Structure 1
Amino acid sequence: MGGRRIGRSGDRPELWAARAAVAERAVCARQLRRGLLTGRLTELDVWPAGRLRRGRRSPWRATLLDCAVDAWLRAPTADRQARLTGLVRGLRVRPNRLGNAELATLTLALHRAHSRAGARGRPKLTKPALRRLRESWSDHAGGGLWSDEPAGRKDAVVNGAAALLFAQLATEGGEKADLHRARSTVDWVLHHLLADGLVVTGLTVAPDGGVGAVDRTITLPGNAYLLGACARLAVSTGERGWPTVTARLVTAVTDQLADADHVLRGSGPGPALGLLSRNLASAALALRDDPAAARAAQVVFGSAEAAWRNRAVARGGPLFGPEWTVPAISPTERPLAGDPGAPVPRAERQLSTQLAGWLALESAALLERAGFADRGSARRPRTL
């Protein structure tokens, strides 16, 4: 992305910064459209031949905002800030039409866009969203925020995202009670939704108000958001316990969710792997001198290297696959002989898959800027 740089020298970009910029250009060129009169940005849900998400129920707008903020932090330009403002202005949703999980992730991304990158054009969303999230805590099942109150569920994604949001608000203009909310929410997840060191999906509340059935499926987004919340508390509170908790989560994630080549595992479309990579980078920055920081950085770089190495070439630039250890296939290519049948549409066509790859590269670029050594494979040429 071109444009006038704001507040930084024009030094030659490092490897991961350059790769992240290439991914940024590709995703934005293929799947973002700007309204001629309004300046609002809307996204194509799939490419090619996708349909525009008019900003009303785009499930990936939060991740798109996160990517845009990371790109601005990597290289702040007027064009990137205009893109962020266009994305925020193009978001037209009502809190009462969103579930708590979607509301929490979107509010978190909006807050970050405003507080970190100065995005303009605040929609009429943030204040009622924060009020609803703050009021969603209950003592049923020992605490935690409701996910979907009529269904009586409490899950890891809404609680992890809300905890991270509250932790950020505690030092960025929120209420005095937000720090307590962040601590309490993280404590509830650690007590009720942790199995073998990893965060599981959630639980139902029993008729008597106690803990009902627990869904023990591992949730990648839930682990990502909780890891980010713990890392933020480790930095902002100065309390000794939070770095220890963060290091334990890093160890569990890197041991159980990454392969022998230090690449995060996952399948199917969605930004979950990118979110996990991004919050591993946050944990590495928070822990810094702890051995767990090196492990987190190793997985961030290894995942980014795999996503880049297995990219496909398509119009506009790289195209990422849903599984970073498997070569991506361009949607213009025919299925290979003997292929049992690809999903329709192919995961490579979906915006969420591309955002995950972009986020992985931005995470590596973030650690690169912070001075972490690149632990990508030394057996392969280090080229763009």
Structure 2
Amino acid sequence: MLAFDTEKTATISIQGLSNRTTGRALMPDDPVRIASISKFFVGLAVMRLVDRNQLQLDQDVSAYLGWTLRHPDYPDNPITLRLLLSHQSGLRDGINYALPMDSVLESALQDPAAWDQNHPPGGYFAYANLNFPVIAAIMEAVTGTRFDQIMQAEIFTPLQLDACFNWTLCSDPKITAAVTLYRANGEVARDDLRGVREPCPLVPAQDGSCDINRYQLGKTGSIFSPQGGLRISARDLSRTGQILLKNDGKFLSKAALATMTRPAWQYDGTNGDSEKGYFCAYGLAVHILAIPGRPAACRDDPFGDNQTRFGHSGEAYALKSGFWINPQSRRGTVFYRTAVPENDLLGHCIYFCE
């Protein structure tokens, strides 16, 4: 675990190996697949594009995609970036959100299983990874650039982070330092690189091929795993948090950060799936903890101090992680753990669950 404020980062606790075969000790600069904290970084990139008026949060995204995105049961309701980023679009993970390279998002979303048949877009929250391939496709369609390259240009280069999505643009030293994700029984779950780049770091085509030249910008959106494929070190997460705590308007306008971290949805007891009280407020790709006035059913104060924090959690491939910023104390926390047992607390309730 790393703790940070605006000036320094402190290593509170770090233990274990980045790879059991090589015996390499885990270090705070080692990159790891950080799971859904990736969504927070996608949100930052979207807000950078909003700052430059390349994207509008309340525009019907069909205008960006070049085809009409609609909930099949509610065809008169436009779907916007604000709804996609805040999990209020009506999309659900009823289909595979890791679409193959040669899939067409427009066709995949014709499947009724991709949609919440009980709620129209807007107003109702239900956490769904599928929102983020759509967001990535929008970013590609507007910029004419691959998603991984957008993230490099908008986030990693300006913040001086050696990070990447699905290993495509990380440096050779980071490949060497990759954290292998293990299951509790010792089996490799993901990223057993040992200094060698994966032959296909993307979601391959349906026939198993991996020719990036076949990829069509803005048509699929999923091959770099925008919902969870960020590889980043704990140190680089803390550096990002420090920039956001300083909030000097250089990386992202103060207005954009305020919009991103302000609740776009708040739980009132009936207007969303809170996952047993864990989700009670959500911004634009930002989970907000312990917001004042939340219902008594909310159990979203894992730090136990009733102070509001923003950030995100992550859970995938036997890893659980957290990236939390406290604007009141001007401090933050980064942590992750691997080899989480299969019978560990499920869902997004990393700190507690029933």
Higher RCO by CA contacts (8 Å cutoff, separation 6 or greater): 2
Return the structure number with greater helix share: 1
Q: TM-score range by the shorter chain?
A: under 0.3
Return the structure number with greater strand share: 2
TM-score normalised by L of structure 2? 0.26
